[in-house]
Structure 1
């Protein structure tokens, strides 16, 4: 496993990154030899798990490759994913909880995507799944398959800073948000967001906020686009600027599904197992993004901004979104007056000399 040749193509990470994960998770997945048989090594346990996530191969296919029974591989993958998530979530899937941490995210959004006071982009995806026969799972949508829905917040560098996974049918990302720990902590003021401050180069006081799509609720700490009906010029500008910030969530999901290809097609596992491999995958994604691993995200793989503030689409778009599908849209109505006024102030700021960028006129 230390041979670099071909390693990245199979695991989407370097041998060094593999060894880092092995040192971390090895003690938790080590098994004792018995008189009857030798235990499968932690190296092989991690290897087969990462190969499953990176390639999406079936347990039967991996069984032939590793000379390990398919049922044993299934057990190894679930145990190792559980161990990875348990050990990595504190450092690699952590929601910020201090003003300093939130300000760092906001500064990145401002410098990279020209959206000030942004704490993260909200996004959601459905993963279609097909539980094995006789698994006891109900066919809720009468089409022979279920879905698992992920709602997540993503920072300006494509890292997931919060995620929740729901297994109920026909749930929107806005619905998952409403019942999430993130929403609860936002409502109770437990996340220590920075206080409202003037927007750059202006005296317009503005709270710090997440950005979401049209299905999200409009709140003081969450801004969404104007409805696409009879918009004036400044509203179109606001929507364009917001879409620039929100696309980091789309990119994060797309990088995930194009690198951890278990999500490329329908996942043939029970919902609770899909949740387990999904949370472990988010941790691995964040770990590799944090290390700026070129085996995982080579240059130009994700969208990037050129010198004129124009967005250049990443090469992931040539490979599609795999099994990740948009979630059902359920629009919220009757927005509160204060968030509406706040959005209008942001709209006016983006068309002012203090807040405009050259590329916005070309995209509306």
Structure 2
């Protein structure tokens, strides 16, 4: 055991957290990305799962410190060897702590990401999008989360950007909350293959999402389905709308449709941007094996919704102006974009050309006519 570890004291680590709490109010959120009250709520939920017993050789590291170590890792993306200088704990033990805490977060916060379970709840999601894109009930997107080359994986996780990755597939609502997330698909699988391997696609295909029946668009006689909006990486389907491919003249019907769809779809781009700006572990290749990297990403997702729904942490997590806004019909970029690095571990899917069914094409054309007439 090195001198730095022998000099570690439990009271010293707890004192650090106490000092941060006693500061003006910005120090603790700056260190752990949440209010002290939400940290305590999270600690109460996790303590039964992450508390360890003392031994005759050394007192166990308290659950409070274990949680602080793990959140700090997610917030900074610092490697375990860097964190060991801050917390005076070996990088091997930090690795174990982070894994155990993230696995426990997946258990205690699992209900923070839930899709609507009935028509009324889906219609509530539609009201949030209604002014921008009537009948829109959510925004879908996928991202490649970069990881280091997994052991003995060959090209299984090797993607089109010539890096190794796992895939995050998400459905979000207008209030920047995840409704569904799937993490861990191998990066080599095509974007269409990734989406088709999700429970969301499977339930959509067999009409098991309890989406409301088609109804009339406001002020028209168009009977239209309720839809998710997506980019060109996704298939055009009855319940999935994506842009018309190519460039279109200013003022054209297709340009108008693409603009409105973009205003609705940009929500999911904001969610990914905000989450990676706060949990910076997502901004660099994650140096963990795919299963543990997936747990890290899913922990960030669950914490995102936990903080987004919190009255004490919401303005810390998404301060005014942090997300994109729409003013006088124009998108005003959020400040999270100023913090984006040129290279990021979150990479979009490539856009690909696809053949679309006649019905889904007609539905898109009718949406386009509606927006053009407004």
Same fold flag (TM > 0.5)? yes
**By how many angstroms is 1:167 displaced?**
3.7
Unaligned runs of 5+ in 1: 357-364
**Is the partner of 1:166 in helix, strand or coil?**
strand
Give TM-score, length-normalised by structure 2: 0.88
**By how many angstroms is 1:230 displaced?**
5.6
- 2:154 equivalent in structure 1: 138
- Does residue 96 (structure 1) correspond to residue 109 (structure 2)? The answer is no
Output the CA distance in 2 between the equivalents of 1:328 and 1:309. Answer: 28
Rate the CA distance shift 1:30–1:146 in 2: closer, same or farther, 3 A.
same
**By how many angstroms is 1:131 displaced?**
4.4
- 2:125 equivalent in structure 1: 105
Output the CA distance in 1 between the equivalents of 2:54 and 2:350. Answer: 49
**Is the partner of 2:65 in helix, strand or coil?**
helix
The correspondence for 1:272, drawn from 286, 291, 295, is 291
The correspondence for 1:330, drawn from 315, 331, 352, is 352
**Is the partner of 1:149 in helix, strand or coil?**
strand
Moved more, 273-282 or 60-69: 60-69
- 2:336 equivalent in structure 1: 316
- Does residue 164 (structure 1) correspond to residue 187 (structure 2)? The answer is no
Query: Contact between 1:151 and 1:173, CA under 8 Å: does it hold in 2?
Result: no
- 1:361 equivalent in structure 2: none
Query: Contact between 1:172 and 1:329, CA under 8 Å: does it hold in 2?
Result: no
The correspondence for 1:22, drawn from 32, 43, 47, is 43
Rate the CA distance shift 1:181–1:8 in 2: closer, same or farther, 3 A.
same
Query: Contact between 1:125 and 1:325, CA under 8 Å: does it hold in 2?
Result: yes
Rate the CA distance shift 1:264–1:120 in 2: closer, same or farther, 3 A.
same
Matches within 5 A, 1:31-42: 31-42=52-63
Rate the CA distance shift 1:85–1:331 in 2: closer, same or farther, 3 A.
farther
Query: Contact between 1:172 and 1:328, CA under 8 Å: does it hold in 2?
Result: no
Output the CA distance in 2 between the equivalents of 1:230 and 1:351. Answer: 14
Count of equivalent residues = 346
Output the CA distance in 1 between the equivalents of 2:121 and 2:88. Answer: 46
String of CA shifts for 1:322-359, please: whole Å, max 9, x gaps. 321122333322x111111111110000011xxx3xxx
Matches within 5 A, 1:125-274: 125-131=143-149, 135-138=151-154, 140=156, 141=158, 145-228=163-246, 233-274=252-293
Query: Contact between 2:248 and 2:255, CA under 8 Å: does it hold in 1?
Result: no
**Is the partner of 1:294 in helix, strand or coil?**
helix
**Is the partner of 1:351 in helix, strand or coil?**
helix
- 1:288 equivalent in structure 2: 307
Output the CA distance in 2 between the equivalents of 1:95 and 1:17. Answer: 24
**By how many angstroms is 1:264 displaced?**
1.4
Task: Could you list the structure 1 runs, at least 4 aligned residues long, displaced by more than 4 angstroms after superposition.
Answer: 142-145, 229-232
> How large is the RMSD of aligned CA atoms in angstroms?
1.9
